[in-house]
Amino acid sequence: MGLFDKKFCDVCGEKISLLGNRKVDDGNLCKDCAKKLSPWFSERRHSTIEGIKQQLSYREANREAASRFQTTRTIGENYKLFIDDNNRKFTVSRSSNFVEDNPDILDFSQASGIDLKIDESRRELKKTVDGKQVSYNPPKYEYSYTFKAKIFVNGNPYFDEMDFSISNGSVNTGEHNMSNSAVNSGWTVSTSYSTDRNLEKYCKFLFKLPVFHLSGN
């Protein structure tokens, strides 16, 4: 087989453009077909054409569910967790245009758990004395945090977790830091920080998420 042999998509039959080939275990897939796969699916290279065809028909059926989804709550700023309380469904997407995005719609009962990950970074604040940058005594720091969530999914043949960033970049909390003890005691944060607008915003997520009983029965 030469380097420039023309390849055709084994799913839709279209000619595959140069660099447009998405390899699967037993064939080739075009970019357009690959784009229709679930964004949470990461096993393409180990899939068969038959498996990809099945997934694409599941994804087509999902459009119907996506069009019926009625958002009652959203959580997050970058990726958002959308909740349809009335029909006990949820989905995760960066877009609220479900017709275009076709996000995978799941039942509450399909979420077996959720992990929240908060990463802290700190930067030392300094003062200028005689034209030099020196540490405060005791040292002062400015803190910022990123918030990530991972939802563990059961009963979907194509993915078993949704790993996404809730915060839009990092959230600066000034000199307030979220203490480890606060973090360890179930993601609650001392309410004395509630004067900080940014943190307050994220406290809301933290307070909401454990309240959102995804295992939900």
- Would you tell me which residues interact with Zn ion (CB under 5 A)? 9, 11-12, 30, 33
Shortest Cβ distance from residue 18 to Zn ion (Å)? Answer: 15
96-118 residues labelled b (16+ CB within 10 A) or e (exposed): eebeeebbbbbebebbeebebeb
Tokens representing residue 174 in the block: 């000034």
The two tokens of residue 167 are: 């915060």
Q: Which residue has the tokens 């039942």?
A: 107
Least CB distance from residue 159 to Zn ion, whole Å?
A: 21
Cβ nearer to Zn ion, comparing 9 with 171: 9
Smaller CB separation from Zn ion, 8 or 136: 8
Which H or E run includes 29? strand 27-29
Nearer to Zn ion, 9 or 92 (CB): 9
Tell me whether residue 30 or residue 75 sits nearer to Zn ion (CB atom): 30
> C-beta of 95: minimal distance to Zn ion in Å?
23
Q: Shortest distance, CB of residue 36 to Zn ion, whole angstroms?
A: 9
Mapped onto helix, strand or coil, the DSSP state of residue 80 is strand
CB atoms within 10 A of CB 216: 13
Q: Which is nearer to Zn ion, 11 or 206 (CB)?
A: 11
Q: Quick check: 112 and 77 in contact, CB under 8 A?
A: no
d(CA 44, CA 158): 10
| Structural element, H or E, at residue 54 | helix 49-68
Cβ at position 62, least distance to Zn ion in Å: 18
